[in-house]
Chain A
């Protein structure tokens, strides 16, 4: 038995204990698993990252649409619309995303198919990507409703009144005045939401969607190099965040063009 053991790992015996540990932590043997060519799992991880970004983009965009509708409804809608929207944002902000994802993932597709049948359409096949985007968009929509509502409220009232006085129709008012004027107030909140969206995609691993966290878990399970793969995925997520932050800074500067500097004159 001991001889067999010795024969399997002759190198580590000579290299000594500490080096052996380092090798097993980050060493060549497990780092090879990250290469892009099989037997490396790197390509798989990148595919997972691409899926994560795709879901995050979709969910953020769709959430933004829900948010614009929601903010308008909350500010200018009738009492019933306002109360329903309040219920929506309160519920979503109080229930864990994981629970919402499970409910929407199972019930959502079920309900839509029942709805389609009721409307006289054949049941549709909702693929994982669309379900994932839809589920996260419902969550994102609640938060962006609040962000956009706050941003619209922060617009100096005079600007909107002036536009109204000029007889601007509501559609034009939204496009020319409200949206551009609220942007600087909305961007910090929306940027935060984007970062949340990228991280919330990880929760879809629990419903088996192969985004980055799920592919990482599969790779780790297949190779038993749990530590290496989770670290690698962490680096990928972190790069995505840091890269996003650079872009966000640029967008922020762009949206504030023509506005007085926040810090004021020195």
Chain B
């Protein structure tokens, strides 16, 4: 039955191949379809925008790639990349040694510190001692989850969410005491109507380069050196020609590329 079905499916797909082959030249950029302001956000018409979407477009235009944003759930991005559902990941994914075992990364295109936000009516700081006995929400399979598990497991209870947005939602609902995430993304939440009322930033976590990595890069397949080279060249080009700064100015009043830019 299974082989029968597979042949039938293959036959159906051959019939559809005419439709599908048109997209053979496209570069599919995977992202998880969830609100992650200011990097990814959706407007009421269903279109995606945000700092990272604009950067993706700028990189693709610079590298002359015909990019299509392809929605894949966050925890399916790396498997999706390796099974060729997508060709690149540009979704605020940090470059880490663990991920490098599975996929390759371009150079970083931004790097921001990791922060902890918590309920307003509680005072604590972003250290294991400060978070003692608290419930921390993190998004699954992120550097923040890895960091929290490494540093806060003994002190606090860690709850994992499918999306950061849901963790924020539960923080506002009072179900968790704190959430650890990218400081910029947290800042956007704390400035929103919901975040303003309930929560504030508790601080920046102690650095741990081994877990948090050198920044956010575009994920590519290990054997796809060509695409990696193109993206690297494009990141450098938009840094140099002012396009990066132009986009960044619309969203932030500082350079999200990270301080390392000056030193190397």
Q: Do A and B come into direct contact in the complex, CB within 8 Å?
A: yes
Pairwise interchain contact B10-A208, C-beta atoms closer than 8 A = no
Chain A residue at smallest Cβ distance from B197: A5
Query: Contact at B2–A38, with CB atoms within 8 Å?
Result: no
A119 to B3, CA, bound (A): 14
Contacts A40-B44, A106-B79, A125-B20 given; indicate if A88 touches B33 (C-beta within 8 A). no
Q: Per a CB cutoff under 8 Å, which of A81, A123, A208 touches B32? A: A208
The interface-forming segment of B68-76, B175-183, B228-236 is B68-76
Which of these, A44, A73, A206, contacts B46 with CB under 8 Å? A44
A242 part of interface (Cβ distance < 8 Å)? no
A146 CB → nearest B CB, Å: 14
A224 adjacent to B169 (CB under 8 Å): yes
Given contacts A106-B83, A116-B10, A222-B41, whether A122 and B33 have CB atoms under 8 Å apart is no
- Interface of chain A: mostly helix, strand, loop or mixed: helix
Which of chain A's residues has its CB closest to B196's CB? A8
Interface residues on B, range: 35 or more
- The stretch of B11-19, B52-60, B140-148, B152-160 in contact with A is B11-19
Using A124-B13, A208-B76, A218-B34 as known contacts, list a sample of 19 further A-B pairs with CB atoms less than 8 Å apart, ordered by residue number in A.
A38-B44, A40-B44, A41-B44, A43-B46, A44-B45, A69-B4, A105-B76, A110-B83, A115-B6, A115-B10, A121-B17, A130-B16, A207-B73, A208-B71, A210-B33, A218-B35, A218-B42, A221-B165, A224-B194
Q: Which residues on A are within 8 Å of B, measured CB to CB?
A: 38-41, 43-44, 47, 66, 69-70, 73, 81, 84-85, 88, 105-106, 109-113, 115-116, 119, 121-128, 130, 134, 138, 141, 206-210, 214-215, 218-219, 221-222, 224, 226
18 contacts between A and B (CB under 8 A): A43-B45, A44-B46, A73-B1, A81-B1, A109-B85, A112-B9, A124-B16, A125-B21, A138-B5, A141-B5, A208-B71, A208-B76, A209-B71, A214-B33, A218-B35, A218-B42, A222-B44, A224-B194
